[in-house]
Amino acid sequence: MTTITLDLSESLIRQASQAARLMHRPLEQVLAVLLEAALPPLDDCPPKLQVQLIEMTWLSDKALMDIATSSMSEPDRLRLADLGLRADALTAEEQEELALLRERYGELTLRYSRVGIRRTRVIDMNTNEIIKMRASQSELRPWKPSGILS
């Protein structure tokens, strides 16, 4: 563990302190969990996407919704499917095209995944206590599972 000193606003300290009291947790632990939720590990994603994905932490809900509802174009999806089905018999040019389409698809999937992480984090801080954290609103509140997370 590394210890650092942060200058935080009084209102943020008040909010975090209230959450810590309600969850019977130390303030430091609540703040650490918030940081972990806001900044998930990027070790497993391509370097060229790391900056884009970390910047998503500060996007508005509308911008995140735009990402979540974006998709690969219909012609690209059809071409990806066609090339994928014929992968063993592709020309060098088609193999290159397939690799590019797979890369685009993978980037979209990573972005969708990051939107999901950013929008909702479920953290089990204690076996009796599950909280739902919306990192975009920096709030912690009690949560009881009801099916679909949103």
CA distance 123 to 2: 22
Arithmetic mean of pLDDT, 1-24: 90
- pTM summary value: 0.53
Half-sphere exposure (Cβ direction) of 74: Cα atoms closer than 13 Å:
0
Provide the residue ranges of all domains of the chain, joining segments of one domain with +.
10-142
Geometric angle at alpha carbon 132, from 128 and 135, rounded to 5°: 140
Structural tokens at position 91: 């020309």
CB 129 within 8 A of CB 23: yes
Summarised one tens digit per residue, pLDDT across range 47-104 is 878 888 888 877 887 887 888 788 889 999 999 999 999 999 999 999 999 999 998 8
Looking at the predicted structure, is the pLDDT value of residue 46 above 90? no
Is 110 a residue whose pLDDT tops 80? Answer: no
The DSSP string of 100-136 is: HHHHHHHHHHHHHHHHHHHH-EEEEEETTEEEEEEGG
Q: Which two tokens stand for residue 26?
A: 């130390």
Confidence band for 40, pLDDT divided at 50, 70 and 90: low
Question: What does the pLDDT read at residue 117?
Answer: 57
**Sign of the CA dihedral running 127, 38, 134, 48:** negative
**What pLDDT, on a 0 to 100 scale, did the predictor assign at position 21?**
92
- Specify the DSSP class assigned to residue 49: H
**Strands 129-134 vs 139-142: parallel, antiparallel or unpaired:** antiparallel
The whole-angstrom separation of Cα 80 and Cα 100 is 9
Q: What is the average pLDDT across 116-125?
A: 48
Strand order of the sheet with strand 121-126? 121-126, 129-134, 139-142
